[in-house]
């Protein structure tokens, strides 16, 4: 119940985002991250247990904070940028809400990566690699929506030159793919718990709903409210293709009646 309630709150807050401005919009941004994070973490706690959820959240947020703090000081791996003050208190010059945002999307990205990996490969090492790569691609696709929106609000600004997409340096996308892949790979390496082994295959509905909503709402908002069709196209194509691939693979497996051996079923459940 709690994951779905937090999801509903996150959706409601994000719906109000285009209707606000200034300080209210900044507050809605922060509250949306907190509600989205609550949905992702409470889902992880229900499936894997509170200890696993706490460890995964700390790992994802810590990885995001480390990457951002290094990026601010060195320009690597994202490019040169700086945060404004609208997003609230900071740690190591990084607004606290930023590493929380890495965690809020990192957990659903892990779920999407594992769904793809279970359908594409069987060897555990290959599953880990596919999970990490798909998760990293998911985080990168999300940022194709996120960065133009946040830059337009003045929450951060870029000083890097070179090739760009929708005003954002392509070095940023490369950095997101690198950090996102490392982050998802680290999450995928966390040991499974006893609770995980008894989870139903449908236990990933909340994170998949969060990802689907993010893709659809972000594309619609950029088209209907913000006048940024290029952002809607880039983010929608990237994130939509990953979600679409996952749906198609799931339908293929269902049509084939794939169940696998008892060992494969246990492994699949351990990776929910």
Q: Which whole number is the average pLDDT over 254-260?
A: 64
Whole-number pLDDT of residue 157: 97
- Asked whether the predicted pLDDT for residue 70 surpasses 50, the reply is yes
pLDDT tens per residue across span 210-251: 999 999 999 999 999 999 999 999 999 999 999 999 999 988
Asked whether residue 262 carries a pLDDT value surpassing 90, the answer given is no
Any bridge partners for residue 168, and if so which? 165
Q: What pairs with residue 169 in β-bridges?
A: 164
Beta strands in the chain (DSSP E): 81-83, 90-91, 94-95, 156-158, 164-165, 168-169
Cα–Cα distance, 135 to 230 (Å, whole number):
23
Angle between helices 97-120 and 124-152 (to 10 degrees): 140
Taking only the tens place, the pLDDT of each residue in 152-195 is 999 999 999 899 999 999 999 999 999 999 999 999 999 988 66
Which residues neighbour 236 within 8 Å (Cβ) at sequence distance 6 or greater? 215, 218, 219
Asked whether residue 266 carries a pLDDT value surpassing 60, the answer given is no
What was the pLDDT predicted at 251?
A: 87
Residue 202: pLDDT band (50, 70, 90) is: low
Q: Count the neighbouring beta carbons within 10 Å of the beta carbon of residue 212.
A: 15
C-alpha pair distances (Å), 149 with each of 17, 121, 129: 11, 36, 31
pLDDT class of 205 with cuts at 50, 70, 90? very high
d(CA 123, CA 87): 43
Is the CB of residue 29 less than 8 Å from the CB of residue 13? Answer: no
User: What distance in Å separates the CA atoms of residue 243 and residue 168, rounded to the nearest whole number?
Assistant: 24
Q: How far apart are CA 255 and CA 261, in angstroms?
A: 17
Q: In this structure, how many other beta carbons lie within 10 angstroms of the beta carbon of residue 247?
A: 12
Q: Are 120 and 195 in contact (CB under 8 A)?
A: no
Judged against a pLDDT cut of 90, whether residue 263 lies above it is answered with: no
pLDDT at 253: 83
Record the tokens describing residue 206, joined without a space: 């909340």
* Tens digit of each residue's pLDDT (9 = 90 or more) over 12-23: 999 999 999 999
**pLDDT score of 203:** 80
> How confident is residue 272, by pLDDT bands cut at 50, 70 and 90?
very low
Q: Where are the domains of the chain?
A: 2-270
DSSP 77: T
* pLDDT at residue 269 is higher than 80: no
Provide the pLDDT confidence category of residue 196 given band limits of 50, 70 and 90.
low
pLDDT of residue 217: 98
Question: How far apart (Å, rounded) are the C-alpha atoms in residues 142 and 64?
Answer: 15
Does the pLDDT at position 268 exceed 50? no
Q: What sign results for the dihedral spanned by CA atoms 146, 97, 178, 50?
A: negative
Question: Is the predicted pLDDT of residue 271 greater than 80, yes or no?
Answer: no
Please report the pLDDT score of residue 255 as a whole number: 80
- At 85-137, the pLDDT tens digits run 999 999 999 999 999 999 999 999 999 999 999 999 999 999 999 999 999 99
């Amino acid at each position: 119940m709690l994951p779905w309630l937090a999801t509903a709150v996150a959706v409601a807050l994000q719906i109000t985002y285009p209707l606000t401005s200034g300080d209210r919009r900044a507050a809605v941004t922060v509250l949306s991250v907190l509600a989205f994070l609550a949905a992702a973490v409470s889902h992880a706690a229900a499936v894997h247990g509170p200890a696993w959820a706490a460890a995964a959240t700390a790992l994802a947020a810590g990885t995001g904070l480390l990457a951002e703090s290094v990026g601010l000081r060195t320009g690597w791996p994202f490019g040169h940028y700086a945060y404004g003050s609208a997003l609230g208190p900071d740690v190591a010059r990084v607004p606290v809400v930023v590493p929380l945002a890495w965690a809020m999307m990192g957990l659903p990205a892990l779920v999407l990566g594992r769904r793809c990996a279970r359908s594409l490969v069987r060897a555990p090492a290959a599953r880990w690699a596919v999970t990490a790569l798909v998760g990293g691609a998911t985080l990168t696709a999300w940022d194709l929506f996120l960065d133009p929106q946040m830059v337009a609000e003045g929450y951060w600004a870029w000083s890097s030159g070179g090739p760009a997409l929708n005003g954002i340096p392509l070095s940023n996308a490369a950095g997101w793919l690198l950090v996102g892949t490392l982050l998802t790979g680290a999450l995928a390496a966390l040991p499974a718990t006893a609770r995980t082994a008894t989870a139903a295959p449908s236990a990933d509905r909340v994170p998949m709903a969060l990802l689907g909503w993010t893709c659809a709402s972000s594309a619609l908002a950029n088209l209907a409210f913000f006048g940024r069709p290029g952002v809607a196209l880039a983010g929608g194509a990237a994130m939509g293709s990953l979600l679409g691939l996952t749906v198609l693979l799931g339908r293929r497996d269902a049509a084939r009646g794939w169940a696998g051996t008892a060992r494969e079923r246990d492994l699949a459940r351990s990776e929910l």
